Structure 1
Amino acid sequence: MAKKEKKKKLIEKLKNRYRLIIYNDSTYQTAWSIKLTRLKVFTFFGIGGLLLVLFTILMIAYTPIREFIPGYPSSKVRQLIVHNAVLVDSLEEQLHIRDNYFDKIRILIEGDVPQDPDFVADTAIPKNNLEINYYNHDSVFKQKILEEQLNLSIQKENPQSRNIANIHFFVPLKGMITNKFNVQSNHRAVDVVGLPNSRISAVLDGTVIFAGWTAETGYVIYLQHESDLVSVYKHNAELLKDVGDKVKAGEAIAIMGNTGELTTGPHLHFELWNRGIAIDPEKYIDF
């Protein structure tokens, strides 16, 4: 009973009415008055405090005032953080490429052949601005040998005088040409994209004069044909012939791939040479 009486008294105190009056100091007349209860006063200050807290949170969240809070980064600092994150990501990618390149050199020095080249071109770098600095003694030596094999004559006569137009070439890969023959850009070949795992065919009867791996162009095969012609097939996934093998026109010699550091995706890099001079394959082959 005592507890109930105390609760009633507390409720009655909260509901008791009071009058707040403001008098004129000179005339003692009532200037303003209001009836209040303790419950109304507590409710008023509680709602006011809640609104003040909510207003403060909104001001901090949606205005530049939050930058004055100790430990909160400014807009410039946030931009710098994002920029550094991009640089770190690019650095990690470059370190991966470097490690992969060194692993390939180590394997070549040991006399082995890399089995699963996993290099993927960085598509974030514009193709026209891509600069690759490399020097591989093994690849340079192989390139010199291939240049000597391609240079079948000291005299630089016109390939057209050999009646190449009368020769029927077999299509090495039926597909779409993504990069044409262009002497000005030093692209003395055509890049052909076909279906995945497409077979690469010999364009003419001939003999395999080189079949192997280079760091820049991956699995490569060279064929020597009659009429002083040499055909070149680069970036293959797998080679089906060895040096010295005789091949027939249309015979499968490789599988289209994406090997080598200079590749930009699965395709065939096809070159056609006559007496040491590169010629445009599109003039003689209908891809």
Structure 2
Amino acid sequence: MAKKNKEPKKITKKLLNKYRLVILNEDTFEERISFKLNRLNVFVMVTITGIVLVAGTTFLIAFTPLREYIPGYSSTSLNLKATQLATTTDSLESVININQEYYKSIKKVLTGDVKTVEFDIDSAIQSQKLNPEEVDLAPSEQDIKLREEVSKEDKYSLFESEKSSTDFSLFPPVKGNITSGYNVNEKHYGVDVAVPKDTPVKAASSGTVIFAEWTAETGHVIILKHNNNLLTVYKHNASLTKQQGEQVKSGEVIATAGSTGELSTGPHLHFELWRDGFPTDPLNFIDFEQ
């Protein structure tokens, strides 16, 4: 029993035995620095130093930009920029596709290809935000009843579905004599109104200019988009006073009448009225006579 008690005491004594670490000048043997140490102090110091080094290295890797210099770690800023660029590229691609389809539909209006002008930019933008797999396309009972009621109404009334917009009206863009009327069979989807050159051409209703360019066949052309899915087209103008993207009010001057384009034979305004991608006879809604 006495031997067993002596062994722990020997271990404790060894740990607490004091030593002196002396640093001497090699030439003069002059003592420069000395430290009093024991084995326990050295063990504690080495342990604390190791913990501090491990904690410091972990902090540098996890919370500072220095980790970017360690092989295998990518730059946080580069990852963020790459994500932002990918999102922006996807959004721009969607916008470009929508605009291309919309410009194609406007081209169809200008060329008179009525069968393919069924594109609506608002619907296209909305479709980009919806997941078709999540949309329930099955008609409800209310939807079926509504369709039956609509089918019994006047299918060709321009404003029948807009009963709430009782204040809506179309302003005569010009006043003059009708020289050529609306004729679908001849692909003449508007009316020609004879007017003196440089007669002010006014907007038939408030809206947005979606096209204002020169075309070889119809000269200076301007197209306005209005509420209720309406488009008004003004062709053969001498000049345009509005640009694409501008907002105009009903009766505001948007061009001056002329005789530009290969298809024009004299000063006049060719005016077209489109609803949901299909042409409508403007004489049913506007009085052009002086």
TM-score (norm 2): 0.46
TM-score (norm 1): 0.46
